[in-house]
């Protein structure tokens, strides 16, 4: 017999994970950059983030696949999120803007840019 479960979106999964593992999660996404066809613009965005992100985070950003980072504390997740991902008003275009959230150990959004 096939058992069907209620479908969950990525936030529901992150809430559950953060609660079960007593951690904070940093989630980021940029659909505009993911769908951008202008390689010059993509290269400029990566160059911009070279000044902000540590090398390993820049590599994650470039893969366009992994966009959830686990932290042991909420404070650490919020500090890094705010340092790594500027608010929309501080970047030139949508391709530069990564929407970012931090989910705390209780499964609540405690930061968003």
Q: Is residue 75 part of a domain?
A: yes
High-pLDDT (> 90) share of the chain, %: 80
pLDDT-derived band at 64, boundaries 50, 70, 90? confident
Distance CA 83, CA 65 (A): 21
1-10, 50-59, 88-97 — which is least confidently predicted? Answer: 1-10
Give the pLDDT of residue 88.
94
Report how far residue 47's alpha carbon sits from residue 58's, in angstroms, rounded to the nearest whole number.
10
Q: What confidence score (pLDDT) does residue 75 get?
A: 97
- Rounded to two decimals, what is the model's pTM? 0.86
3 state SS of 73 = coil
Q: How confident is the model at residue 10 (pLDDT cuts 50, 70, 90)?
A: confident
Domain that holds residue 41: 10-112
Q: Count of domains in the chain?
A: 1
Q: What is the DSSP string of 36-62?
A: ---HHHHHHHHHHHHTTS-HHHHHHHH
């Amino acid at each position: 017999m096939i058992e069907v479960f209620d479908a969950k979106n990525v936030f529901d999964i992150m809430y559950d994970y953060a609660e079960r593992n007593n951690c904070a999660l940093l989630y980021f996404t940029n659909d505009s950059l993911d769908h951008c066809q202008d390689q010059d613009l993509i290269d400029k965005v990566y160059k911009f983030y070279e000044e902000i992100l540590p090398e390993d985070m820049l590599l994650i950003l470039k893969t366009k696949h992994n966009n959830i980072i686990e932290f042991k504390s909420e404070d650490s997740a919020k500090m890094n999120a705010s340092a790594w991902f500027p608010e929309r008003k501080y970047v030139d275009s949508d391709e530069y803007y990564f929407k970012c959230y931090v989910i705390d150990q209780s499964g609540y959004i405690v930061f968003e840019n």
